[in-house]
Amino acid sequence: MSEQLFKSILNQDKAPVVVCDIESTVVYMNPAAVKRYKRDLTGKSIRSCHPASANEKIDRVLEWFGKSRENNIVYTFRNDEENKDVYMVALRDDNGNLIGYYEKHEYRNKETAKLYDI
């Protein structure tokens, strides 16, 4: 599958997606993430917009991801106001090596659109 197809999948997601490399540099933000955070952080460290306590948690999760190829997703935050859960998800190469991570938002609101309303 081409990079363009993967990027298109992320661009169509209504939830924010922020992809970081192993050094926590933002390598991609989908349009929903740029809108939510009101800025494009691509090329910058995600750590620069987090307090020290959050960066310590990022370090703990990255260490856990590195301990096993089976350690791939961590629940990190509940936002009751938006009725969503947030996760950190490991990104791995074809050999299972950790190459980065992304932030995944899962909204719990019931869909209001009609089925196949095209």
Which pLDDT score is estimated for 37?
92
Residue with tokens 């703990």: 60
- 63-114 tens-digit pLDDT: 999 999 999 999 999 999 999 999 999 999 999 999 999 999 999 888 888 9
- 19-77 tens-digit pLDDT: 999 999 999 999 999 999 999 999 999 999 899 999 999 999 999 999 999 999 999 99
Give the whole-angstrom CA distance, residue 77 versus residue 87.
Answer: 7
CATH of domain 15-107: 3.30.450.20
Which pLDDT score is estimated for 23?
96
Whether the Cβ atoms of residue 30 and residue 40 lie closer than 8 Å to each other? no
**pTM of this structure:** 0.88
Q: Which residues of 76-114 are buried (b: 16+ CB within 10 A; e: fewer)?
A: eeeeeeeebebbbbbbeeeeeebebbbbbbeeeeeeeee
The percentage of residues in the chain with a pLDDT greater than 70, rounded to a whole number, is: 99
Which pLDDT score is estimated for 1?
62
CA distances from 21 to 14, 85, 89, 111, 115 (A): 22, 22, 12, 32, 37
Whether the Cβ atoms of residue 30 and residue 102 lie closer than 8 Å to each other? no
Domain boundaries, the chain: 15-107
